[in-house]
């Protein structure tokens, strides 16, 4: 049990004792005038407190360029127990040219997390997107690309060793039909590149938990079946894989009905599941009905995690609608985050708190 959870338990127990004494006292001294008292304290005043009370973490993706904004940084530091690098740990950011590494953005995130008693989620070591051209179009042979991939993992995971709790080792490796995405790694190195990447990450940082991460795998479908079969195979081979990330980029009113069932089948393999990139977008403009449905959807998603012991936590992909990636990628859609464009809490915030059981 974490110190935060222990503290929450002590507070709850103390509250019960005080309530009991108050009832007893009223029976003994009914003639005494009623004294004014402070209003009850809200026990779950932040997402972080709600998550910790359920034994889980709650995270957000951090936009490095916004850490200097006091409103943004205040929410990020107080509401979350985990932070994910939105972009600054991706390949194009840390190794824009071969052998030249820039860890400044990632180091800022680590410093921020350590100052606020948060864990760091590393994102991501091997991904087909946001690759520098020298990797995606370099024309490497298999032996050369294998060396490039393993060197990158060794340098990046090694640099942050001991400071990152989880790594997205391989990101978005599957097509919608459950076949392998034909990335430069897949086409050059073949199916074995995923196992090799996990082994390299484990060698570079044996204390970090190592994850495979993908989208549209929240429900039981062809894509999640493909990931399931891979994870089962990797475990059979003794590959050090610790968790599966369900990105959870969802649409209002379209949360898969078998989300909890799917979480359960992965955890039964012996790996953790984490909801890694939650946002729930809607067709714009938003209105009260859509925001209420979004609140219910956030509650449903987080509650599915809370219901499964092997689901370790949930991360939202961004804080406010003003900073979300959604409108740029899905024209006409947006309002996907728990805070609005003015950094005001939306009903979605309350849905997350309720989902953690608070």
Question: Which residues belong to the active site?
Answer: 172, 277
How far is Cα 196 from Cα 180, in angstroms, rounded to an integer?
16
DSSP letters of 42-103?
A: PS--SHHHHHHHTT-EEEEEE-GGGTTSHHHHHHHHHH-SEEEESSTTSHHHH-SBTTB---
Strands 272-283 and 333-334: antiparallel
How far is Cα 69 from Cα 79, in angstroms, rounded to an integer?
16
How many Cα neighbours within 13 Å face the side chain of 226? 18
176 secondary structure, DSSP code: T
How far is Cα 138 from Cα 149, in angstroms, rounded to an integer?
13
Phi (first) and psi of residue 43, to 5 degrees = -70, -40
CB-based contacts of 321, cutoff 8 Å, min separation 6: 334, 335, 336, 337, 339, 340, 341
How far is Cα 83 from Cα 60, in angstroms, rounded to an integer?
5
Consecutive H or E run containing 295:
helix 288-306
How far is Cα 120 from Cα 128, in angstroms, rounded to an integer?
22
248 secondary structure, DSSP code: -
Number of residues that this document lists for the chain: 358
How far is Cα 243 from Cα 351, in angstroms, rounded to an integer?
25
339 secondary structure, DSSP code: B
How far is Cα 22 from Cα 39, in angstroms, rounded to an integer?
15
How far is Cα 25 from Cα 54, in angstroms, rounded to an integer?
33
């Amino acid at each position: 049990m974490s110190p935060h959870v222990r503290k929450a338990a002590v507070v709850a127990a103390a509250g019960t004792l005080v309530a009991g004494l108050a009832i007893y006292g009223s029976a003994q001294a009914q003639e005494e005038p009623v004294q004014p008292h402070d209003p009850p304290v809200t026990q779950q005043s932040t997402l972080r407190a709600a998550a910790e009370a359920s034994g889980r973490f709650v995270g957000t993706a951090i936009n490095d360029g916004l850490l200097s904004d006091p409103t943004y940084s205040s929410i990020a530091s107080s509401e979350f127990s985990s932070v994910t690098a939105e972009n600054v740990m991706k390949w194009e950011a840390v190794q824009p040219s071969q052998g030249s590494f820039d860890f400044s953005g990632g180091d800022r995130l680590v410093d921020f997390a350590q100052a606020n008693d948060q864990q760091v989620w590393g994102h991501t070591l091997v991904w087909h997107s946001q690759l520098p051209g020298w990797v995606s179009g370099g024309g490497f042979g298999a032996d050369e690309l294998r060396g490039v991939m393993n060197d990158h993992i060794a340098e990046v995971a090694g640099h942050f060793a001991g400071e990152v709790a989880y790594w997205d080792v391989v990101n978005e490796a599957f097509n919608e039909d459950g076949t392998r995405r034909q990335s430069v790694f897949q086409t050059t190195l073949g199916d074995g590149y995923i196992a090799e990447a996990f082994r390299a990450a484990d060698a570079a940082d044996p204390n970090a938990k190592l994850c495979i991460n993908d989208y549209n795998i929240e429900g039981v479908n062809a894509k999640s079946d493909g990931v399931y079969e891979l994870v089962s195979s990797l475990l059979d081979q003794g590959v050090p894989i610790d968790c599966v990330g369900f990105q959870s980029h969802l649409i209002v009113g379209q949360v898969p009905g078998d989300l909890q069932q799917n979480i359960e089948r992965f955890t039964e393999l012996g790996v953790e599941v984490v909801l890694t990139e939650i946002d729930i977008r809607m067709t714009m403009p938003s209105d009260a009905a859509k925001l209420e449905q979004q609140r219910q959807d956030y509650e449903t998603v987080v509650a599915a995690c809370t219901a499964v012991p092997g689901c370790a936590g949930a991360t939202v992909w961004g804080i406010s609608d003003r900073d979300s990636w959604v409108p740029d990628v899905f024209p006409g859609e947006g309002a996907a985050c728990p805070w609005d464009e003015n950094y005001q809490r939306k009903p979605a915030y309350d849905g997350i708190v309720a989902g953690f059981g608070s």
